[in-house]
Amino acid sequence: MDAQRQSTDDEGNEVRLPHTVRRVVSLVPSLTEAVAVTAPGLLVGATDWCTHPAGLDAARIGGTKNPEVEAVRALRPDLVVANEEENRAPDLAALRAAGVPVWTTRIRDLDQALDSLHRLLVEALQLPCPDWLVAARRAWAFAPPTRTVRAVAPIWRRPWMVLGHDTFAADLLRRLGVDLLPAGHPDRYPRLSIDELRSLEPELLLLPDEPCRFTATDGPDAFPGLPYALLSGRHLTWYGPSLAEAPAVLAARLAGRGSGPGAGG
């Protein structure tokens, strides 16, 4: 049996690991992609929502909010990777109580994401720093535009919920010249009525395709006449290999914005 070693995750939890980690279960789609692309064959379990990379060969263990603890245990993982926002604390506690090592990430902005990914992949899993992580750092190494646009970015419609400032996605958008509304709201994902959102007088409507799949015909109708941009949720909210191409993909979508329809409610 491998000698044990100890490392510390993003939340300060001491995690005991074998010298060589051979079996990983991921409870977060973006971390699934990060591990699978970096070390094919290391990932043995993933959630039902893990869609990347294509053709992923891993056992499915339920959703991010309702993983099947016994199914995870049966896979005999050396490590389960999770996120403090994506996953529920009781589920992670149940895994730890069952003797399963859990590594929890905590990410609020791009710098935290890049450092967290390096810590997980290089320190915890002892993998070489992947080329995509180096490319991601380079891709985002630019000064934010001096001219900004005020925008609202709904992530849900019934009820309306928007991206707030203390989020990873908001930091990416800020670096691309977008200031999210409502400014200074205490909630990370404010819930506002459509009238409240319109009263903010945004200059732009941003509509990602996840978690709610907004389209050109579902979303812009509620903001008549307002220019809008349909964004890739994977490039806006995932921290993993997609970060290397995210600046170019998101900037192109922002530049190619459309005009909102003339009716809505």
- CATH 3.40.50.1980 spans which residues of the chain? 4-129, 149-255
Note the pLDDT tens digit of each residue in 107-153. 999 999 999 999 999 999 999 999 999 999 999 999 999 999 999 99
What pLDDT was estimated at residue 259?
Answer: 56
Note the pLDDT tens digit of each residue in 167-177. 999 999 999 99
Residue 24 pLDDT more than 90?
yes
Q: Please state whether beta strands 24-26 and 79-83 pair in parallel, antiparallel, or not at all (unpaired).
A: parallel
**Residue 3 CB: number of other CB atoms within 10 A?**
7
Given pLDDT bands bounded at 50, 70 and 90, which one contains residue 35? Answer: very high
One-letter amino acid of 226: L
Given pLDDT bands bounded at 50, 70 and 90, which one contains residue 262? Answer: very low
Share the mean pLDDT of the chain: 94
Residue 40 pLDDT more than 70?
yes
Q: CA-CA distance, 61 to 220, in Å (whole number)?
A: 36
Q: What is the CATH number assigned to the segment(s) 149-255? A: 3.40.50.1980
From residue 108, give the alpha-carbon distance in Å to each of 126, 224, 237. 24, 32, 11
Whether the model pTM is above 0.85: yes
In three-state secondary structure terms, 70 is helix
Residue 257 pLDDT more than 80?
no
Note the pLDDT tens digit of each residue in 3-20. 688 999 999 999 999 999
What pLDDT was estimated at residue 256?
Answer: 81
Per DSSP, helices labelled H in the chain are 29-38, 69-74, 89-97, 110-118, 131-139, 168-175, 194-199, 233-237, 246-255
What pLDDT was estimated at residue 4?
Answer: 85
In percent, how much of the chain has pLDDT > 90?
91
Q: CA-CA distance, 130 to 38, in Å (whole number)?
A: 6
Note the pLDDT tens digit of each residue in 54-107. 999 999 999 999 999 999 999 999 999 999 999 999 999 999 999 999 999 999
Residues in the chain: 265
Q: What is the CATH number assigned to the segment(s) 4-129? A: 3.40.50.1980
Return the residue matching tokens 């404010």: 190
Residue 264 pLDDT more than 50?
no
Average pLDDT of 28-52? 96
What pLDDT was estimated at residue 235?
Answer: 97
Nearest partner of 5 among 83, 78, 113, 87, judged by Cα? 78
Q: Please state whether beta strands 154-157 and 4-8 pair in parallel, antiparallel, or not at all (unpaired).
A: unpaired
